[in-house]
Chains A and B, each alone.
Chain A
């Protein structure tokens, strides 16, 4: 048994960590600008293999695996580095790997090389990814609206929609976001570092990914993968806040000494640590389940998702409390993590949905949400 990252993966972590050393300052710059991300930083991450790591060599990648994505995600979460890593190297690339086929074979090498950025457009008004889409495909053209699309400046998107051939279900499609008929309405997001848009499709040509009607199964599989990798992003963010709080509790003086001597402060930090360590256990197990496609992947993914969401939310909320008034200011970074924690808690679907998925996976049989949507 070896329940940890390999020396090579740890070396990758160090490289990425050095690359993201100024991540927070770079994220800050985006808050006040209209830029979609830090293009220079993204280029350097691509040069490091960040976009190609988990893509098979046959499809132009480096052929490592999900574990490398977990390592990068954790460092991205820790530093808030403004790069489209999650949308392009995780969401879109993992989706294309799951779908497979000629189109995926053609697009993955371009994603790996950073020639194009990708994203996914699954959510609609209802919010989560795993709902029956309202968007429709007729005669090879896409009509409909997708909400909360992360990094909408991407060149391509994997979109969920229904065509006649999908029967009661739905399918996945590849869309060229630069093409005519795509309208991007940028939405001001709670997370002021990330970019989101509402995408309107008015007869945009699309190509099918995967088999007709396979959308639900592919989405469930993608959500498991993304939940696990995102759990590392969440743990990175939570650890960053814990570290900042420890520093602050040791240096901030009140009542004649550092505030860290008070049990009201130190016990909350202990609780933060406990939640992070539990989440790390779940996330590591999830990473293993993902890299081996173990049979309990759905339960492992839901456990990682719920544990990491709890850890990051708690750390982000209590960090502001612990920093006092300064933590409530715009200029302090506490709110950047607070915003990120909440948005990550929503992006793949709420706690309520994932609790349902977890219990369904543990008890066997579809969750109430899945059953209600015929998934």
Chain B
């Protein structure tokens, strides 16, 4: 048992640390966000692209990707270490995560080498943004129920239908789409995966305002959109298998600790609230709540370290991914609610660019986080069935042709 870096890891960490110290922009300096004006979406996107460019120039993007496609050919543990060090800064990297973390691994696995070479580099450098066109109004947890129809016509497929909850579709250059190509076979067997240009004629992206008030995602309408057959990933009818690899990557990505208030911030908050001769931090009920959140938050850190340890020793991480998202999202929600409870009526007022605003924002956003990439219920099913080996749910629609379903 050893929590220390190896000599190589320590050297890599030192190098990453000093590069970050010298090159991270002033607005991303470690510590709490300065109070003041909220950024516009355009400003955030500009900053995100700028930061990605700077990292790319220094060789800190695509650390584990092969050199042939624009990566660094490095070790997974180096990626982990860079992310740990980068996490101290308030940089914004989310827009690239869908592409780098989910879409591109799928493209790389299932497309010819030339295609991967064309797309991986620009995505790693932040020059092209990707989105994932999976969910539909009628296909959420039951993703295999997608209805957006692709019909072959010569060398093209003609697509009609609607996707929804698509993050960054309005900023995306390319998308990964799971489409229904055969309605006469059972639902899992009639889907095919494609990638497409988000500027294709007939494609319309409409931002959806989420309950946070921000346009966190989009709906995407397809009207006779043509996708060349050359942009198919995997065999016709093999889309579900391709989607599963993408989804596992999605849960890994979402399961990472987001830039959200944790128990340390709660302790600060409680200490600042007078109670009797001391502060709210002396209250047994407050201590109990903080302990509960700490067990989850720090527990996830330790699970990530176990995964990191497996990576460091050349093994694949275990099923930590599904646990991470499941625990993290609900804990965020509980921390937000509890922080507001501590502030009593003071938390009724919507905060602006303040610590209160952070707690309020994450309370709202976590409600969505509990759904994104698999609801709590879907994740519990995955843990029970794939990790614990329990029998699958009974599904009455599993073997019937898709066009015979109600």
Chain A residues within 8 Å of B, Cβ to Cβ: 1-6, 67, 242, 246, 249-250, 257-258, 260-261, 263, 265-267, 269-271, 273-274, 277-279, 281-282, 284-285, 287-288, 291, 302-303, 306-307, 310, 351-352, 354-356, 358-359, 362-363, 368
A3-B306, A359-B291, A362-B294 known; A273+B387 contact, CB < 8 A? yes
Q: Is B58 in contact with chain A by the CB < 8 A criterion?
A: no
- Asked if residues B1 and A5 are in contact (CB atoms below 8 Å), the reply is yes
Interface residues in B, total, Cβ within 8 A = 53
Taking CB atoms and an 8 Å cut-off, the chain B residues in 280-317 that contact chain A are 281-282, 284, 287-288, 290-291, 294-296, 298-303, 305-306, 308-309, 312-313
Partner of B282, one of A263, A278, A307, A368: A368
Q: Is B183 in contact with chain A by the CB < 8 A criterion?
A: no
Q: Is B22 in contact with chain A by the CB < 8 A criterion?
A: no
Report B314 CB to chain A, min CB distance, Å. Answer: 12
- Asked if residues B300 and A4 are in contact (CB atoms below 8 Å), the reply is no
- Asked if residues A2 and B299 are in contact (CB atoms below 8 Å), the reply is no
- Asked if residues B284 and A355 are in contact (CB atoms below 8 Å), the reply is yes
What separation, in Å, do the CA atoms of A215 and B91 have in the docked complex?
49
Q: Is B327 in contact with chain A by the CB < 8 A criterion?
A: yes
**B278 nearest CB neighbor, chain A only:** A368
Q: Is B399 in contact with chain A by the CB < 8 A criterion?
A: no
Mark B252-283 against chain A: 1 for CB-CB distance below 8 A, else 0: 00000000000110010001000000000110
What separation, in Å, do the CA atoms of A355 and B283 have in the docked complex?
11
A260-B391, A281-B303 known; A1+B296 contact, CB < 8 A? no
- Asked if residues A352 and B271 are in contact (CB atoms below 8 Å), the reply is no
Majority secondary structure of chain B interface residues (helix, strand, loop or mixed):
helix
A351-B288, A356-B284 known, 16 other contacts, Cβ within 8 Å: A3-B306, A4-B306, A266-B380, A266-B381, A267-B384, A270-B379, A271-B380, A277-B299, A278-B296, A278-B327, A281-B298, A282-B299, A307-B295, A358-B287, A358-B291, A362-B263
What separation, in Å, do the CA atoms of A277 and B322 have in the docked complex?
12
The stretch from B3-11, B143-151, B220-228 touching chain A is: B3-11
List the 10 closest A-B pairs by CB distance, nearest first.
A281-B302, A278-B299, A3-B309, A266-B384, A355-B291, A270-B383, A270-B380, A260-B390, A267-B380, A355-B287
Q: Which residues of A contact B176 (CB under 8 A)?
A: none
Q: Is B36 in contact with chain A by the CB < 8 A criterion?
A: no
Mark B340-382 against chain A: 1 for CB-CB distance below 8 A, else 0: 0000000000000000000000000000000000000101110
Report B330 CB to chain A, min CB distance, Å. Answer: 10
**B263 nearest CB neighbor, chain A only:** A362
- Asked if residues B291 and A281 are in contact (CB atoms below 8 Å), the reply is no
Report A368 CB to chain B, min CB distance, Å. Answer: 5
